[in-house]
Structure formats: C-alpha cells, structure tokens
Amino acid sequence: MNPVRVSVLGASGYAGGEFLRLALGHPGLEVGQVTSREHAGHPVHIVHPNLRGVTDLRFSHPDALDPADVLVAALPHGGLAERVDAYLPMARRVLLDLSEDFRLATQEAYGAHHARPHPRPDLLGTFVYANPELHREELTGVAAASGGAGVPGRLAGAGCIATATILALHPLVAEGLLDVERDVIADAKIGSSAAGKEVSLASHHPERAGAVRTYAPTGHRHQAEIAQELAGGPTVHLSATAVERVRGVLVAAHAFLRQGVGEADVLAAYRRSYDAEPFVRLVRARRGVHRVPDPRILDGSNYCDVGFALDDGTGRVVAMAALDNLVKGTAGHAMQALNLALGFPETAGLGFTGLHP
C-alpha cells in the first residue's frame, strides 16, 4: 500500500511540530511539505531540535503549498477560517484543523465566547469533532466517505482543556448519573505550552516561573465545546489556572450525583465507557504515589488518565482527568482521529507510553 502523503500548514508552532513528530513515526504516512512564513527555507530541526537526524525536511512558504492527501492546518486561531477556500483544494482526502475555528456547530455557540462573528458560519457543523471516544463512528472512514468531487473529509481537533473535562465527565452524563439541577464546577490546571509559541509578558520567565495564576476564572472559550459535547447534562462552569509546567492538563470537576446513585454505579459507568478504549485509562490505585490522574507521567503520550472520588456525605463526585495538552490534548487525538478517517489501526503512530520518573 502506498503511504498517505501529509502536509502540515504552520508546522513551526508547538501543535504543528508535535503533529509532525507523530507523523514522521507513523507507518502509513509520508510527510511531503511543512510550511512556515517565518522559517521558509530553513531545516525543520532549527525550530524543532528533537527532530534533528530524523528528517531532512525544510520549511516551505505557505504560498508554495502543493496538494496532498491530507492537509493538517496548525495555524493560529482564525487562520484557517479566513482562508479556507484557498486551502480546501490542497487536501485531496482529509482537511484536519488543529485550531478552534471549526470545533463548534453553530454561530450562536461561537459568538458566545468570541468578540467577532465567525468568518465562515456556513461551514460550522461540517467538520467532525475529533474526539474519538465520543465520535468514533462519525470519524471512521471519513476520507472514503468524502465522496470525491474535490470535497475532502473535514476534521476539527478538540481543545485540550475541553478534551480533559469532557472525558472526565462523559460517563456520568451519558448514563444520567448527575443531578442536572446542580451545576458542575471544573477547575483546570495547565502548563505553559497550551498558550502556543507566541511570546507575551505572561509567558516571560520572571512572570511565569513559580506561577499558580488563574488567568480565566470565568468565560474560558473551551466552555462552549464542553457544553456542546456534554449536552443533556448539568451546566459546566470552567476556570483555568496556569501552573509551572511546560506540558500537561489536570482537570478536577466537582459535580453532584442523583439521589440513590452510589460508588458502584459510578465505577460501572466509567468501566462501560472506557474499558475498551485504547487511550483512556481508569486510575483506581489504593497504594503508591499515583493514586489519582497526574499529567507528569503522561508527557509525550496519547493517554488520558481519568479517575473519581466521592464525598458520601454530600453526594459530591470529583471527576478527574489528566493528559499531555500537546498530544492527547491536540496532535495525538487528531492523529487518532485521522487513523480512523483513513482506515488505519487507531493506535498507529501513537505507541509512546510516557516517562517515569
């Protein structure tokens, strides 16, 4: 079988570089082009030194992009939506967007968390949300089902905090175990790479080092994704705090169970949702240091570890999830979704297990 040719648009950023790393190790993909306006003509390893000796690719200017089987758009938020008509013809089989541009299905949902209206509201709802655990059936065979006629399958990568929150709460919402009259409070702690490669005062070392800074106590844009994917459950309120890590997300979501629901019901729901999942692990250890999910041991991996704890006296359940924001939170779940779309084994190219210590 001929390899599937992939190009990465905006490959000099963290998300694009991480997808490139995964694609170079994938048995069924061949990386054709990687683009960067700033670094056009320079070797990839100048920007991504971990790829030194792995590839001799050089960055191309995006205006020199050639068609490929799969085009991965790793542009800043808004970058694809503003030029989507130019880039769609560059994808023969699949257009995979890693930004937030096409995650939401409606203009109303987008407008609730963005100051400006979406530039292409007609395309909202035409991208499959790339959360394999919730949308495996829709993702499977997207490339084959795109129907030709120059219309590639379209995938929208999910947000990292949204992915962790959704996977933490999904079993409880799917089985109707939560009291929908009582809101959920989700607290997310996140490493600095989630802010992207753009330099700002907030990312300046004297400001970031040692930080435990709540930068979005209310109004985080990922809240719209969470509401979309957990429709039918309680309202989820999200707060996000920057911590002194480069990678990683840890979400603790505080919810309340319906009357009569106990620990056995909660455990059974998590097992039914995730026992067969290749990249979601239920953490229920009674001994050792890592008895609840911890992003530190997930660096570089596509795993999401989930867990829960109950406060029997109040009916409060704390649903937890940890992941690497650049892998399972961005490039890894996108690769997992692309595998499904192309008919590859879902785990292809995603075998790294993380590090300890």
Question: For the chain, what are the domain ranges?
Answer: 4-157+328-342, 161-325
Which ranges of the chain would DSSP assign to H, the alpha helix?
14-24, 44-47, 79-82, 84-87, 107-111, 132-139, 142-145, 160-174, 205-208, 222-229, 263-274, 332-342
With a cut of 70, say whether residue 338 has pLDDT above it.
yes
With a cut of 60, say whether residue 147 has pLDDT above it.
no
Go through 319-331 and write b for each residue having 16 or more CB atoms within 10 A of its CB, e for each that does not: bbbbbbbbbbbbb
Question: What's the confidence (pLDDT) of residue 73?
Answer: 98
With a cut of 60, say whether residue 350 has pLDDT above it.
yes
CA distance 306 to 316: 17
pLDDT band at 198 (very low <50, low <70, confident <90, very high): confident
Question: What's the confidence (pLDDT) of residue 148?
Answer: 52
With a cut of 90, say whether residue 22 has pLDDT above it.
yes
The whole-chain average pLDDT of the chain stands at: 95
Instruction: Give pTM, 2 decimals.
Output: 0.96
Question: What's the confidence (pLDDT) of residue 139?
Answer: 97
Task: List Cα–Cα distances, 7 to 25, 151, 166, 345, in angstroms.
Answer: 15, 17, 29, 20
Q: What is the SS3 assignment for 223-238?
A: HHHHHHHCCCCCCEEE
Give the mean model confidence (pLDDT) for residues 8-17. 97
Residue of 23, 31, 44, 160 with catalytic role: 160
Question: What's the confidence (pLDDT) of residue 150?
Answer: 60
Helical packing angle, 332-342 and 14-24, nearest 10°: 50
Give the mean model confidence (pLDDT) for residues 329-335. 98
Active site residue 160: yes
CA atoms within 13 A on the CB side of 226: 29
Question: What's the confidence (pLDDT) of residue 149?
Answer: 53
CATH number (3.40.50.300, 3.40.50.720, 1.10.230.10, 1.10.390.10) of 4-157+328-342 reads: 3.40.50.720
With a cut of 80, say whether residue 333 has pLDDT above it.
yes
pLDDT in tens, 259-297: 999 999 999 999 999 999 999 999 999 898 999 999 999
Give the mean model confidence (pLDDT) for residues 19-48. 97
Question: What's the confidence (pLDDT) of residue 239?
Answer: 98
Which of 38, 118, 114 shows the shortest CA–CA distance to 84?
Answer: 118
Question: What's the confidence (pLDDT) of residue 151?
Answer: 76
Mention the CATH class of domain 161-325.
alpha beta
CA distance 297 to 53: 26
3-class secondary structure, 63: helix
3-class secondary structure, 147: coil
With a cut of 60, say whether residue 227 has pLDDT above it.
yes
Question: What's the confidence (pLDDT) of residue 208?
Answer: 87
CA dihedral defined by 78, 80, 85, 89, rounded to 10 degrees? 180
pLDDT in tens, 36-91: 999 999 999 999 999 999 999 999 999 999 999 999 999 999 999 999 999 999 99
Question: What's the confidence (pLDDT) of residue 143?
Answer: 82
**How many Cβ atoms from other residues are within 10 Å of residue 350's Cβ?**
23
With a cut of 70, say whether residue 196 has pLDDT above it.
yes
Question: What's the confidence (pLDDT) of residue 68?
Answer: 97
Contact present, 218 and 239 (Cβ < 8 Å): yes
Question: What's the confidence (pLDDT) of residue 145?
Answer: 64
Question: What's the confidence (pLDDT) of residue 199?
Answer: 83
pLDDT in tens, 94-118: 999 999 999 999 999 999 888 889 9
Contact present, 189 and 323 (Cβ < 8 Å): no
Percent of the chain at pLDDT exceeding 70: 98
